[in-house]
Structure 1
């Protein structure tokens, strides 16, 4: 298996036994099943795939039957780990998982898609018993491991900005074809089907509009007007897309002086390849007018990934003045202790806007 940052954390979670249930969530095609199979090979135990109805039936909420079926599904290497792939296909399994955590010494490690985790509250019945991890598309450090040939780091960053970080895309010979397939079948179609959305064209058109506005403030009323629909509908679709980690909204930093926009958020895509596929633009970086926005997206999502992977509880914001010159800080990172760092994100460098009244302890240019 190609090395992934989260693998080490999952191994520690299994070995330290701090929680008896470990969930790994993420968008489809990001590599969750590959990691799960690697852990199964390493630690042994039993393996269930809930895409298989027979495996669902075996996971019955009867402790005696459950223990017998776990033994039945054991691999060559015995162990107390129970691995479950595609757990979102059978959310009712939480009853059986609760039995295992309360009555046995098994550890359950399960993967599932963000789509169903966002939709159902079944997993909340396990409160206090589990730890959650979120798998993102490949980071700059990870994508190096997927390369077929050695190349300078800058070339991998360019690949991330054009083709994104889905593992299947990184390994594909025809990256554009693979990206379009993932966009149509694993991103848009799954969300439309799961949420029973009535208008797939509206979803596509909304995503295309958002793709052309990365790094910009989103005006829901303008989106609704452009798409000839209601503000309520757009709000609903934006919430679904955000919960399912297709897009990310960066909140404004609110100061006491009320000089910032108090409600409008900036939009980014979790994967730039999906974004570029939506607008069918795979031109080289050096000829693109949207290079600044693409680079800002790359850095902002990279910062978000660090929050999840490092589990540091940092909060991310932007800041922009109302009126006047409308000076802006692209990204503010605030620690749980309240320490703030301002980041100016510019591909070719740039000047930092400073706001002493915001209490920012340091400023950086990210280029």
Structure 2
């Protein structure tokens, strides 16, 4: 079994008087993680928010009835809690009325769960975001050399747990993931009337990984207005399919100040969206695959290691660009991502002149451990 970094963090917060909220995409191992240290423990009550009777149970629940339902259970796990109406108020009721119980709620879509828990659970919760398995978790599992050898495989198939443990069935599993789970929470939202347009938008985003995106241009490609494009992108972010990277600007007039790039949390899902599982030796988009991989893995690393940094990309109107700019403790470091260590890269002189104390590093597959471990 592949150990997940969040396991020990969550264990350390048990019975500390607060609810534990675990969010992340469907099928990335949230329930598996919890069962790894609870198992079939008789003191644990598992409830699934996808089930109608569980949703109905919480619709008009009282503290007295909750105590009767929980009985002698010490740990209450509510899976897919975003499916339960007014979940924040229900969780608050449990934490306030039954403080001896450890409450854990998981969710696969932030647009319901986060919006409905933040105010009711202020000061009453620990929150953790979970991602597909990370490069660093796999290094811990079977060593750095082995995982670096598998990077070409990861660029194509990604890091979803089922995909990793079922070698030879990657394409079938990714098709199932993208068809059955990827859009489930979004399409359940009543205002999504055109799922075909949503898929077109995702495909357009997949083809533009690592490039600036324009809502107007995306709308023209997909047959949607720019406001609907932005709304769909927000929903895709909140269901942990994609994320945005903002541009860095402080001093120059010609720095792009409000532009965005969009990346996928998982390379395998990105490739499933465009139905391209060719190996990297036969692909023209290896640069985009590498950039998406490195950026998403850095996001995982920063989250799991509790490093407090700001990050952006940088570009000017004259198309001078840096893939990743990071600021930690007042120090700026610029990074360029190159699949081959032989590819030449240098820091744009304009950036160096404007931010003279900044550092510069090139990240390739040969030195990826310096960036992700």
Both structures adopt the same fold (TM-score exceeding 0.5): yes
Residue matched to 1:187: 182
Q: CA deviation at 1:106?
A: 2.3
Q: Does 1:363 align with 2:352?
A: no
SS in 1 for 2:183: helix
Q: Does 1:221 align with 2:220?
A: no
TM score, norm. by length of structure 2: 0.86
Distance 2:327 2:112 in 1: 27
Q: Is the 8 A contact 1:115 1:191 kept in 2?
A: no
CA offsets per residue over residues 51-84 of structure 1, 9 Å max, x none? 3444455556433322221126x3xxxxx33222
Cα gap change, 1:239 to 1:57, in 2 (>3 Å)? closer
Q: CA deviation at 1:298?
A: 0.7
Residue correspondences, number: 355
Residue matched to 2:131: 136
SS in 1 for 2:299: helix
SS in 1 for 2:13: helix
Cα gap change, 1:262 to 1:108, in 2 (>3 Å)? same
Q: CA deviation at 1:115?
A: 5.1
Q: Does 1:62 align with 2:59?
A: no
Q: CA deviation at 1:282?
A: 1.0
Select the residue among 78, 82, 101 that pairs with 1:106: 101
Residue matched to 1:97: 91
Q: Is the 8 A contact 1:118 1:244 kept in 2?
A: no
Q: Does 1:329 align with 2:322?
A: yes
Distance 1:8 1:353 in 2: 39
Q: Does 1:49 align with 2:48?
A: yes
Q: What are the ranges of 5 or more consecutive residues in structure 1 without an aligned counterpart?
A: 75-79
Q: Is the 8 A contact 1:161 1:295 kept in 2?
A: yes
Distance 1:62 1:361 in 2: 57
Residue matched to 1:283: 278
Residue matched to 1:77: none
Q: Does 1:212 align with 2:210?
A: no
CA offsets per residue over residues 190-230 of structure 1, 9 Å max, x none? 42222541111111111111111110010121112222331
Residue matched to 1:20: 18
SS in 1 for 2:172: helix
Q: Does 1:169 align with 2:160?
A: no
Q: Is the 8 A contact 1:20 1:107 kept in 2?
A: yes
Select the residue among 148, 152, 170 that pairs with 1:154: 148
Q: CA deviation at 1:122?
A: 4.6
Distance 2:179 2:151 in 1: 24
Q: Is the 8 A contact 2:255 2:316 kept in 1?
A: yes
Q: CA deviation at 1:333?
A: 1.4
Q: Is the 8 A contact 2:88 2:113 kept in 1?
A: no
Q: Which moved more, 1:35-44 or 1:163-172?
A: 35-44
SS in 2 for 1:84: strand
Cα gap change, 1:53 to 1:145, in 2 (>3 Å)? farther
Q: What are the ranges of 5 or more consecutive residues in structure 2 without an aligned counterpart?
A: 365-373
Cα gap change, 1:144 to 1:304, in 2 (>3 Å)? closer
Q: Is the 8 A contact 1:58 1:66 kept in 2?
A: no
Q: Does 1:34 align with 2:47?
A: no
Residue matched to 1:345: 337
Cα gap change, 1:222 to 1:37, in 2 (>3 Å)? same
Cα gap change, 1:45 to 1:152, in 2 (>3 Å)? closer
Select the residue among 84, 87, 99 that pairs with 2:81: 87
TM score, norm. by length of structure 1: 0.88
Q: CA deviation at 1:93?
A: 4.1
Distance 1:243 1:51 in 2: 18
Cα gap change, 1:118 to 1:224, in 2 (>3 Å)? farther
Q: Is the 8 A contact 2:136 2:301 kept in 1?
A: no
Q: Is the 8 A contact 2:19 2:126 kept in 1?
A: yes
Residue matched to 2:369: none
CA root-mean-square deviation: 2.6
SS in 2 for 1:317: strand
Q: CA deviation at 1:273?
A: 0.6
